[in-house]
Amino acid sequence: MSLFPSFAAATKLMQPHFEQALHKLSCVTAIVSDGFLSWTLESANKFGIPRLSFFGTNNYTGAVGHQVYLNRLLSGPKSDDDLITVTGFPWIKITRNDYDEPLNQRVPSGPHLDFIMETGITTANSYGLISNSFYELEPLFVDYLNRDPKPKVWCVGPLCLADPPPKVDPGANQPKWMEWLDQKLAQECSVLYVAFGSQAEISRQQLEAIAKGLEESEVNFLWVVRKNDEETSVVMKDLEERVGERGMVVREWVEQMEILKHGSVKGFVSHCGWNSVLESICWKVPILAWPMMAEQHLNARMVVEEIKVGLRVETCDGSVRGFVKPDGLKKMVKELMEGENGKEVRKKVEEIGEGAKKAMAEGGSSWRTLNELIEELQRVRNSNGVIIN
Ligand SMILES: O=c1ccn([C@@H]2O[C@H](COP(=O)(O)OP(=O)(O)O[C@H]3O[C@H](CO)[C@@H](O)[C@H](O)[C@H]3O)[C@@H](O)[C@H]2O)c(=O)[nH]1
């Protein structure tokens, strides 16, 4: 992650090539750009094309972040774990530890902050923002961001419901994890799915604690591990030997949605990357939140405290960044899979998952929003406006 600002700056070298490509295309009505590629606004303006910024995150994070920035909420508290009331949304409490560097500093500065500011400014100057979310999930926060007419937020998700199912070759062998899941379903066993996304770095000590926690929780589990070094292999091999058929560790890329869709999967220990949260909601699997970095801590607050589709792992010192001991995992895994709180969040995720499907179906809020956006962009094009951003 330390390379992030340099990497983002390097993408600017693509601008002339991007503009050459734009030049060759006719009838470009709009540009949908990753929000982090700020330079696409300049290209869009040169060509008189509206730019829509896309971030793979939710509106809760955007709205809370806006209040935190406006009111400089992170400059006050003494401790990184002091609860801070969010102005404008007083039922929401955050801590400085919910933010990564440089935003968690009292007076943030440096190239990473410059990059964040540039991203914010170009988004504010864009035609709109495309959001991978649906209105009914977070109406308060979408309305908050849309209190200014521009840039308007267009919620057109969850996009995972628009994905075509993966092509299955009937002659091909099923992946091992799918066979294992089918076997668990046939035995009427529930499975806990464990995955921490594509970016998190987990220490060996923490990996060992997760392994022990899963072993002691006595649930069936499928754990997707990204790290493939020797140290990790030793921990995983040892775990597999100890749990036998009860657990499966996968080291390669899996079709996460196929796992969440599977009838045996009844819980998801997740880092709360926004795609994982949405996929879990869409397939009605309650979450055990274990945020690691980026905006995941705020996503976890949203999941647990706002929309209530999940519980949270227990850290040993109460800090959101604290170490999770085997007991802190085991206790919450049991609660999610068998406890009263688990039942509550399961009920809630079923209700919200239904809402997600309705939003994406013909006539639903995301379907209507996408149509409105297309119609509006066509009107803009037909009116021959020069620079629309
Ligand atoms: O073996 C795997 C691993 C991942 N996935 C998919 O990959 C995506 C992972 O996305 P996400 O859950 O959002 O995790 P990250 O890739 O870690 O997410 C980054 O991007 C997100 C969206 O912007 C942010 O919310 C996170 O904080 C940031 O870490 C999901 O669609 C998964 O289904 C698979 O299909 N198979």
Q: For residue 325, what is the domain's CATH number?
A: 3.40.50.2000
- d(C-alpha 136, C-alpha 99), whole Å: 26
| Domain's final residue, options 120, 155, 190 | 155
- d(C-alpha 323, C-alpha 206), whole Å: 7
Q: 3-class secondary structure for the chain?
A: CCCHHHHHHHHHHHHHHHHHHHHHCCCCCCEEEECCCCCHHHHHHHHCCCEEEEECCCHHHHHHHHHHHHCCHHHCCCCCCCCEEECCEEEEEECHHHCCCCCCCCCCCCHHHHHHHHHHHHHHCCCEEEECCCHHHCHHHHHHHCCCCCCEEEECCCHHHHCCCCCCCCCCCCCHHHHHHHHHHHCCCCEEEEECCCCCCCCHHHHHHHHHHHHHHCCEEEEECCCCCHHHHHHHHHHHHHHHHHEEEECCCCCHHHHHHCCCEEEEEECCCHHHHHHHHHCCCCEEECCCCCCHHHHHHHHHHHCCCEEECCCCCCCCCCCCCHHHHHHHHHHHHHCHHHHHHHHHHHHHHHHHHHHHCCCCHHHHHHHHHHHHHHHHHHCCCCCCC
ipTM over 0.90: yes
Which residue's alpha carbon is nearest to atom 33 within ligand 1? 256
Q: Is there an atom of ligand 1 within 6 Å of 257 CB?
A: yes
- Is the domain of 117 the same as that of 25? yes
Q: Is there an atom of ligand 1 within 6 Å of 275 CB?
A: yes
- d(C-alpha 333, C-alpha 335), whole Å: 5
The predicted pLDDT at position 200 comes to 79
- Is the domain of 197 the same as that of 339? yes
152-155 β-sheet, strand order: 31-34, 51-55, 128-131, 152-155
For residue 276, how far is its CA from the centre of ligand 1 (angstroms)?
6
Q: Determine, yes or no, domain membership for 184.
A: yes
- d(C-alpha 227, C-alpha 219), whole Å: 23
Q: Determine, yes or no, domain membership for 361.
A: no
State the residue for tokens 């379907």. Answer: 367
- Is the domain of 138 the same as that of 264? no
- Is the domain of 193 the same as that of 312? yes
- Is the domain of 137 the same as that of 268? no
User: Do 156 and 130 contact (CB within 8 A), yes or no?
Assistant: yes
Give the angle subtended at the CA of 236 by the CAs of 264 and 200, to the nearest 5°.
80
- Is the domain of 111 the same as that of 200? no
- Give the pairing of strands 84-86 and 89-94: antiparallel
- d(C-alpha 108, C-alpha 110), whole Å: 7
Q: Is there an atom of ligand 1 within 6 Å of 253 CB?
A: yes
Tokens of 302: 């949203």
- d(C-alpha 86, C-alpha 377), whole Å: 35
Give the angle subtended at the CA of 116 by the CAs of 111 and 120, to the nearest 5°.
145
Q: Determine, yes or no, domain membership for 252.
A: yes
- Is the domain of 147 the same as that of 282? no
Which residue's alpha carbon is nearest to atom 1 within ligand 1? 253
- By most ligand atoms within 8 Å of CB, the mutation choice from 275, 282, 290 for ligand 1 is 275
Which residue's alpha carbon is nearest to atom 34 within ligand 1? 256
CA atoms within 13 A on the CB side of 190: 14
Q: Determine, yes or no, domain membership for 306.
A: yes
Atom of ligand 1 nearest to the CA of 275: 13
Closest by CA position to 316, among listed 209, 196, 239: 209
- Is the domain of 305 the same as that of 212? yes
Q: Determine, yes or no, domain membership for 283.
A: yes
Q: Is there an atom of ligand 1 within 6 Å of 131 CB?
A: no
Q: Determine, yes or no, domain membership for 364.
A: no
Number of domains in the chain: 2
Q: Is there an atom of ligand 1 within 6 Å of 198 CB?
A: yes
Q: Is there an atom of ligand 1 within 6 Å of 353 CB?
A: no
State the residue for tokens 């179906």. Answer: 361
Q: Is there an atom of ligand 1 within 6 Å of 224 CB?
A: yes
Q: Is there an atom of ligand 1 within 6 Å of 296 CB?
A: yes
Q: Determine, yes or no, domain membership for 377.
A: no
CA dihedral (61, 152, 369, 273) in degrees, to 10, reads -20
- Is the domain of 280 the same as that of 218? yes
- Is the domain of 273 the same as that of 342? yes
Q: Is there an atom of ligand 1 within 6 Å of 197 CB?
A: yes
Closest by CA position to 11, among listed 31, 39, 33: 39
- d(C-alpha 349, C-alpha 268), whole Å: 12
Q: Is there an atom of ligand 1 within 6 Å of 95 CB?
A: no
The predicted pLDDT at position 151 comes to 94
- Is the domain of 251 the same as that of 186? yes
State the residue for tokens 């995972």. Answer: 160
- Is the domain of 268 the same as that of 143? no
pLDDT tens digits in sequence order for the chain, 389 residues long: 778 888 888 999 999 999 999 999 988 999 999 999 999 999 999 999 999 999 999 999 999 999 999 999 999 878 999 999 999 999 999 999 999 999 999 889 988 899 999 999 999 999 999 999 999 999 999 999 999 888 999 999 999 999 777 776 777 889 999 999 999 999 999 999 999 987 778 999 999 999 999 999 999 999 999 877 888 899 999 999 999 999 999 999 999 999 999 999 999 999 999 999 999 999 999 999 999 999 999 999 999 999 999 999 999 999 999 999 999 999 999 999 999 999 999 999 999 999 999 999 999 999 999 999 999 999 998 886 544 56
Q: Determine, yes or no, domain membership for 112.
A: yes
User: Do 246 and 264 contact (CB within 8 A), yes or no?
Assistant: no
- Can you give the residue range of the structural domain that contains 243? 176-356
